[in-house]
Chains A and B, each alone.
Chain A
Amino acid sequence: MTLAEFIATAMVALRRNVLRSVLTTLGIIIGVGSVIVMSAIGSGASKQIDAQIASLGTNQLTIFPGSMNVGGRQGGAGSAPPLTEKDLRAIRENVTGIDAAAGNMNSGATVVVGNVNWVTQINGSSAEVQTVRDWPLKSGRFYDALEASSGRKLAVLGSTVARELFGEADPLGTMVRINNVPFQVIGVLSEKGQAGGRDQDDVVILPLSTARSRLMGRVRVPDEIGQILVKVDDRYELSEVQADIERVLRQRRRIAPNATDNFMVRNFAEFLATRNATTRTLGLLLASTAAISLIVGGIGIMNIMLVSVTERTREIGLRMAIGASGSDILGQFLTEAVLLCMAGGFLGLVLGAGIAIVISTLFAWPVYISPGVVLMAIMASASVGVIFGFVPARRASQLNPIEALRYE
């Protein structure tokens, strides 16, 4: 028999008892369906995390002043000498593989326009920060390096701040007062969304020198920088550039070869590692759930196929009498089991996708059904058909045609 004939024969047999066929595959349907739902929610969540990590910048390094050990007493974070413009320049000039490097200082401040005010975060940043953080503008422009160093009072608003202060109005060109210092709004940033539980758009970016002299209060050294943000050129290894930065800073800050760094370089690879571990655990959980439900479903299939072989003993006898070989009969019942399982897998897929969509609309959770999971669900249910259909099919193929024909 050809595959098409096997399938046609199996369809006739399965249609003979639709209710039973559906009930038989229920185990597979529920198993595949639940796996699809879980994986849709799981990969939706991890996709969201991926997007957040990407919005933070995966090729970005952040340098903080570290803690300092004074006479055996370890100071807290920031107790070490601050980073300065000279450190920034040294990194720019001596480290290869840097796309852009920006100084940054953070502070909280109240921004006032007319009778509206909003407490937000102030980022005093060099002009390069836009490149480093890969942050396009929604409208207006960013200040350039000259404006940043000449103390101009310009402000670029995060989208949340712009919305809170101006609503639908266009903020460009308006004067805003930040801790009572007037600044001119020259640009509004595009939305970046949430990351790490913080609204990244709730921010105002100002030229670093202006922010330092007008808003940051007391600084320890005149050219202090809170952090240095570095964007690594894609063609270079992140870890190598990081090592290079550490070498340059140790040299500039005169740290003895066996002393510990008094600064820290952080990258997002650590975030990624945590995420990967979470994904692996989730994947393992999914795989075991899928395996258990498919085994349970498979046993259901095997049971009903054994019943079917017994019920159709005469038919098997007839087919053998008119010339069906053992492999013809084996193929016929295996096809039936595989078809049953694949239909169950497909129904489970539809059911799971439907539930995932309902969940995503009801709870606003991100869901994502990956093609890989779909393919795996179909393949797994087909394998269940082969594995659990084999015993009944083999039993059918080994029947004695004389006894089978006489079977009542």
Chain B
Amino acid sequence: MTAAGIASPVPVVAARNLCKTYQLGEQSVHALREVSFDIQRGEFVAIMGPSGSGKSTLMNMIGALDVPSSGQLLIDGTDIGTLDRDQLAALRNHTIGFVFQQFNLLARTSALDNVKLPLTYSRPRRADATDIARSCLEKVGLGARMDHVPSQLSGGQQQRVAIARALVNSPSIILADEPTGALDSATSLEILQLFESLNAQGMTVIMVTHELDVASHARRLLRVKDGRLVEDRAVTGALTEHQS
């Protein structure tokens, strides 16, 4: 996060004629066609689109979970198409902080151990893993609940633990997939405000959503439809159906 906020010549995400084609029997499904964009360090981007638009495919590639069929996707300047499975895993570990709709916390495991989990897969190993995890939990306002297991936490608190887990490796990107999809509107607002405050501190946040009022917390909107990028604009104030 030290370099955050400073305009870097290397975009944190760079898509170059990105294509993804799935083979379903005889048929080729074009999930993404010729998508190109840059995301700079410190941006807060919402990716929107109806289901089947290709936004999940795009998110998987930004998350280094999938590789393009053609074109390039560069994360911190690294072309993910050139990496093998284990290199992709290492890239995810160091560069991406995932936040999921269903939180995906390990049951029967304390908040602290859940947050520490990405560090156990880091190389080289951090000796101060527990301290880092503690400070991340404090950052999301759960300093008092480190020993609680997920079943003892509310949905909003569980998502905060998941966000702390995403922050623990000081990633280049927080990648959130429908982060408020399983939360009520009041809690959703708290989580979105947490993202805003992280972004204000310089963290790059990319959020996939299908809700306009969620997307309106972002500062840039990418809209995907039928595998193509159909809209790329700055967000100022609340978005309405008319505006989109």
Residues of chain A whose beta carbon lies under 8 Å from any beta carbon of chain B: 1-2, 5, 12, 16, 314-315, 317-328, 401-402, 405
Contacts and interface: CB of A to CB of B under 8 A. Distances in A.
B130 interface: no
B194 interface: no
Contacts of A323: 89-90, 92-94, 118, 121-122, 169
A319 to B, nearest CB: 7
B114 to A, nearest CB: 10
Contacts of A2: 120, 125
A1 B129 CA distance: 13
B85 A322 contact: no
Given A322-B92, A325-B85, A402 B60 contact: yes
A319 B125 contact: no
The 5 closest A-B pairs by CB, nearest first: A323-B93, A323-B121, A322-B118, A318-B104, A325-B86
A321 B65 contact: yes
B108 interface: yes
Contacts of A317: 104
Nearest to B93: A323
B117 interface: yes
B63 A322 contact: no
B65 A319 contact: no
B121 A401 contact: no
B65 A322 contact: no
Given A328-B121, A405-B104, A322 B60 contact: no
Nearest to B102: A314
B100 interface: yes
A5 B126 CA distance: 14
B66 A402 contact: yes
Given A325-B86, A402-B66, A5 B104 contact: no
Given A5-B120, A401-B65, A321 B108 contact: no
Best-surrounded residue of B104, B107, B165 (most CB of chain A within 10 A): B104
B106 interface: yes
Contacts, number: 59
Given A16-B108, A314-B104, A325 B90 contact: yes
A324 B85 CA distance: 10
B98 interface: yes
Given A322-B121, A402-B60, A315 B106 contact: yes
Contacts of B118: 322-323
25 contacts: A2-B120, A5-B120, A12-B109, A16-B107, A315-B106, A318-B104, A318-B106, A319-B121, A321-B63, A321-B92, A322-B92, A322-B93, A322-B98, A322-B118, A322-B121, A323-B89, A324-B121, A325-B86, A325-B89, A326-B85, A327-B86, A328-B89, A328-B121, A402-B65, A405-B100
Interface residues of B, number: 26
B171 to A, nearest CB: 10
A163 B93 CA distance: 83
Contacts of B60: 402
Given A318-B106, A322-B98, A401-B65, 15 more contacts: A1-B121, A16-B108, A317-B104, A321-B63, A321-B65, A321-B98, A322-B165, A323-B121, A325-B85, A325-B86, A325-B90, A326-B86, A328-B121, A402-B60, A402-B65
A314 B107 CA distance: 12
Nearest to A404: B65
Contacts of A314: 104
Contacts of B108: 12, 16
Best-surrounded residue of B89, B106, B121 (most CB of chain A within 10 A): B89
A318 B118 CA distance: 10
A400 to B, nearest CB: 9
Contacts of A5: 120
Contacts of B93: 322-323
Contact of A322 (B86, B107, B117): B117
A402 B100 CA distance: 12
A12 B125 CA distance: 22
A315 B165 CA distance: 15
A318 B97 CA distance: 11
